[in-house]
Amino acid sequence: MKASNFFISTLKEAPADAEVVSHKLMMRAGMIKRLGAGIYNYMPMGLRVIRKVENIVREEMNRAGAVELLMPVVQPAELWQETGRFDKMGPELLRVKDRHDRDFIIQPTSEEVVTDIARQELRSYKQLPKNFYHIQTKFRDERRPRFGVMRGREFTMKDAYSFDRDKEAAGRSYENMYAAYCKIFDRLGLQYRAVAADTGAIGGDRSHEFQVIADTGEDAIIYCPTSDYAANIELAEAVALLASRAGATAALAKTPTPGKATCADVAELLQLPLAQTVKSLVLATDETDDKGIITKSTVWLLLVRGDHDLNEVKAGKLEGFKGGFRFATVPEIIEHFGTKPGYLGPIGLKKPVKIVADRTVANMADFVCGANEVDFHYTGVNWGRDLPEPDFVADIRNVVAGDPSPDGKGVLAIQRGIEVGHVFYLGTKYSAAMKANFLDEAGKPQPMEMGCYGIGVTRILGAAIEQNHDERGIVWPDAIAPFTVVVCPIGMDRSEEVKTAATKLYEELLALGIDVLLDDRGERPGAMFADWELIGVPHRVVLSDRGLKEGTVEYQGRRDAEATKLAVADVVGHLK
Ligand code: ATP
Ligand code: MG
Ligand code: MG
Ligand code: MG
């Protein structure tokens, strides 16, 4: 590529709305251009990086035996109604109508469509296992789009979906994808960690997030430097909380007189420090049969953080006390309590207290809690009031650095990360809802076991920059740099010798398949170097009359403090 043919547009200053370094540098380097909140044009320089990321992802997915297809961005609502997600998903799901007033959605992910394909196409156990993937535009109407491509509303995701005949085979598909993800992030040249995440109602330990390590990351990772233990903060907190509940359960046997209670009262009741309790309140709901026998116990963990908007209070759900938990929003919990008569109180209920079935966000301030016997409970518990303003990092948590690791192999440390990938075992959640069955050897229909596997292609650009930059600009890992080498001739318009040598070098590198750019714009050296340092090209070769006279060029790696002289004859070998 010659710079004169390409499009280069750099800025001295980043726009005011860019908060983090990756966003600032991507804007300044002319990689993206804002069109609306969380919506960007991918400019030619940025698109080259996106394509390189996509190619690595594609190669490794293919190598792992996954099959590429392409599913539509605009999807009929009917499929999403089959799984209930059309109604259940909040405002993050963008719903649109066509001219006939029919409902459609803009895909945030593609479980429904791929399951629809599978139920039509995968009919026999002989066709399994199968893994379909696509690299496609997604839309999520994020409440707070920010950090440029890191939390966009429109973004590119690779999403894969595996179909298997049973749990065991699904486990193998999961492991296969996990291994492929490690190869992908290794090849991308990123420092990352795979951490255990919640698995929701499905249970088990098959959910991992791939987190790029960066101080500016929105997520917190809990890990043990002396063992393999690593989990996201939500999972680590829930596990720690359950452990800490052991003592509290005993205290509940002596529940005091019922009455109005605040968070402080509940904290005292549960024998947990207030700060810890308001971060994470535990509720248990028991479902009973006609005779009042408990048939199912669900523990809800309310993890309170942020600005105390009740809609934002995060809650996790633990079924049967083991397995994983998933985060739900308060409205989702209310939906659960609001439609079924449930019971609410701490773990360890013998005779749970029945709660009314008409909860709304407004009366979240009137929960019943703390009962171990009928009439021995608090009413009017207000989850929202009395909460101290937690600071995001210094937040008081159930897990703090220095706590013993759950595996007993050391102490815990905390670092921040950016979620760039997620592998998740789905079980038969979608196949059962959509009747995606295959026929087993006996000719009996069985629901397919599924897994889903996402990679945030465009988010990776931001994550890579957060991890690799300096005061001059981006430092791309070689594998995803927009150009691997830039050839910078000085005074090309004046000197035939420089022009000839630069063109020759450029053509030789091209012939070797090296992604090289010849900067033939005729910029002054200072401006030219500043551009390429900002854009982050990893290797630079400078040709000048003076150097050529002594038969040398200057090579400088993007991280090198100084340039080194190389004999003209050695440059190509050096860059190969
Ligand atoms: P987050 O917790 O950051 O909101 P998520 O858990 O909702 O992400 P998944 O549903 O697991 O995201 O989607 C798979 C991948 O898609 C994520 O791991 C992430 O890399 C990417 N991704 C998700 N949301 C966005 C977004 N708004 N902008 C860019 N990439 C995103
Ligand atoms: Mg999200
Ligand atoms: Mg997430
Ligand atoms: Mg995720």
> Mean pLDDT lowest for which of 201-205, 394-398, 553-557?
394-398
Q: Tell which atom from ligand 1 comes closest to the C-alpha of 460.
A: 20
In the predicted model, what is the mean pLDDT of residues 383-405?
49
| Mean pLDDT on 176-204 | 88
Q: What is the mean pLDDT of residues 321-343?
A: 40
Look at residue 295 and tell me whether its pLDDT is greater than 70: no
How does residue 290 score in pLDDT terms, banded at 50, 70 and 90?
Answer: low
Answer for the pair 197, 160: CB distance below 8 angstroms, yes or no: no
Please tell me the distance from the alpha carbon of residue 74 to that of residue 72, in angstroms, as a whole number: 5
What Å distances lie between residue 81 and 99, 295, 434, CA to CA?
20, 29, 10
Contact 539, 485 (CB under 8 A): yes
Which pLDDT tens digit goes with each residue over 488-513? 999 998 999 999 999 999 999 999 99
Taking the C-alpha atoms of residue 453 and residue 436, their distance in angstroms, rounded to an integer, is 19
Looking at ligand 1, which residue's alpha carbon is closest to its atom 28? 151
Mutate to test the pocket of ligand 1, among 26, 157, 423 (most ligand atoms within 8 A of CB): 157
Q: Mean pLDDT throughout 47-74?
A: 98
pLDDT tens per residue, range 151-170:
999 999 999 999 999 999 99
Please check the confidence at residue 89 and state whether its pLDDT lies above 80.
Answer: yes
Between CA 396 and CA 555 the distance in angstroms is: 50
Q: Name the band, by pLDDT with cuts 50, 70 and 90, for residue 143.
A: confident
46-55, 303-312, 369-378, 450-459: which has the minimum mean pLDDT?
303-312
- Classify burial at 247, counting beta carbons within 10 Å of its beta carbon; exposed 0-12, middle 13-18, buried 19 or more: exposed
Confidence (pLDDT) at 555: 98
Q: Which residues contact 243 (CB under 8 A, 6 or more apart)?
A: none
C-alpha to C-alpha distance for 106 and 83, rounded to whole angstroms: 16
Integer Cα distance of 433 and 78 in angstroms = 13
Of ligand 1's atoms, which has the minimum distance to the CA of residue 153? 27
Across the range 453-469, mean pLDDT stands at 98
Can you tell me the mean pLDDT for 257-272? Answer: 44
Q: Amino acid identity of 236? A: A
Could you give the maximum distance between any two Cα atoms of the chain, in Å? Answer: 97
Q: What per-residue confidence (pLDDT) applies to 392?
A: 28
- Looking at ligand 1, which residue's alpha carbon is closest to its atom 3? 419
Residues touching ligand 1 (Cβ under 6 Å) are: 140, 142, 151-152, 155, 157, 419-422, 454, 456, 458-459
Which stretch of 266-270, 438-442, 570-574 has the lowest confidence by average pLDDT? 266-270
Mean pLDDT, residues 515-520: 98
Taking the centre of ligand 2 as the mean of its atom positions, its distance from the CA of residue 270, in whole angstroms, is: 32
Contact 575/509 with Cβ under 8 angstroms? yes
Query: 40 C-alpha vs ligand 2 centroid, how far in Å?
Result: 18
Tell me the C-alpha distance between 122 and 350, whole Å: 47
The CA R_g of the chain, rounded to the nearest whole Å, is 28
Share of the chain above pLDDT 70, in %: 71
**Do the Cβ atoms of 193 and 94 come closer than 8 Å?**
no
Provide the pLDDT for residue 331. 47
| The total number of residues written for the chain in this structure | 576
Say how far apart CA 555 and CA 488 lie, in whole Å: 10
Lowest model confidence (mean pLDDT) among 142-151, 294-303, 525-534: 294-303
Helix count and strand count (H, E) for the chain:
16, 30
Q: Where is average pLDDT lowest: 22-31, 287-296, 463-472, 559-568? A: 287-296
Nearest CA to ligand 1 atom 1: 419
> Does position 301 have pLDDT exceeding 60, yes or no?
no
**How many other C-beta atoms lie within 10 A of the C-beta of residue 185?**
25
CA-nearest residue for atom 26, ligand 1, is 151
pLDDT tens by residue, 346-358: 333 223 333 322 2
The percent of residues above 90 in pLDDT, for the chain, comes to 65
ipTM: 0.99
Q: Is pLDDT of 124 > 60?
A: yes
Find out whether 463 and 14 touch, Cβ atoms under 8 Å. no
Q: How far apart are CA 271 and CA 252, in angstroms?
A: 9
pLDDT at 343: 36
Report pLDDT for 399: 73
Find the helix or strand (DSSP H, E) in which 92 lies.
none
Q: Is the pLDDT of residue 380 over 90?
A: no
Query: 249, exposed or middle or buried, with CB in 10 Å at 0-12, 13-18, 19+?
Result: middle
Query: Could you report how far apart the first and last alpha carbons of the chain are, in Å?
Result: 18
Distance from C-alpha of 460 to C-alpha of 133, rounded to nearest angstrom: 18
pLDDT of residue 334: 47
If one residue of 53, 161, 218, 419 were mutated to test the ligand 1 pocket, choosing by the most ligand atoms within 8 A of its CB, it would be: 419
The per-residue b/e assignment along 269-305, b for 16 or more CB within 10 angstroms, e otherwise, is bbebebebbbbbbbbbbbebeeeeeeeebbbbbbbbb
Does 298 or 88 have the greater pLDDT score?
Answer: 88
Tell me what pLDDT residue 510 has.
97
3-state SS, residue 444 = coil
**Mean pLDDT, rounded, of the chain:** 80
286-311-149 Cα angle (round to 5): 120
HSE at residue 536, side-chain half, CA atoms within 13 A, is 31
- The answer to whether the beta carbons of residues 535 and 474 sit under 8 Å apart is yes
Tell me the residue type at 134: H
Give residue 237's pLDDT: 66
Mean pLDDT of 427-433: 95
pLDDT at residue 411, rounded to an integer: 94
pLDDT for 103 beyond 80: yes
Comparing 37-41, 263-267, 382-386, 544-548, the range with the smallest average pLDDT is 382-386
Q: Are 478 and 52 in contact (CB under 8 A)?
A: no
Minimum mean pLDDT among 185-189, 291-295, 524-528, 569-573: which range?
Answer: 291-295
pLDDT band at 96 (very low <50, low <70, confident <90, very high): very high
Cβ contact 112:83 at 8 Å: yes
Cis peptide before 129 (omega within 30 of 0): yes
Query: In testing the pocket of ligand 1, which one of 159, 459, 465 has its CB within 8 Å of the most ligand atoms?
Result: 459
* 254 exposure class (CB count in 10 Å sphere: 0-12, 13-18, 19+): exposed
Order of strands, sheet of 94-97, starting from the edge strand that comes earlier in the sequence: 74-76, 103-106, 94-97
Q: Which residue has the higher pLDDT, 123 or 340?
A: 123
Does residue 176 register a pLDDT over 70? yes
In angstroms, what is the span from residue 210 Cα to ligand 3's centroid? 10
**Residue 184, CA distances (Å) to 218, 230, 415, 423, 460 in order:** 22, 19, 22, 13, 11
Q: If you average pLDDT over residues 16-38, what whole number do you get?
A: 96
Q: Crossing angle, helix 457-467 and helix 44-63, to 10 degrees?
A: 110
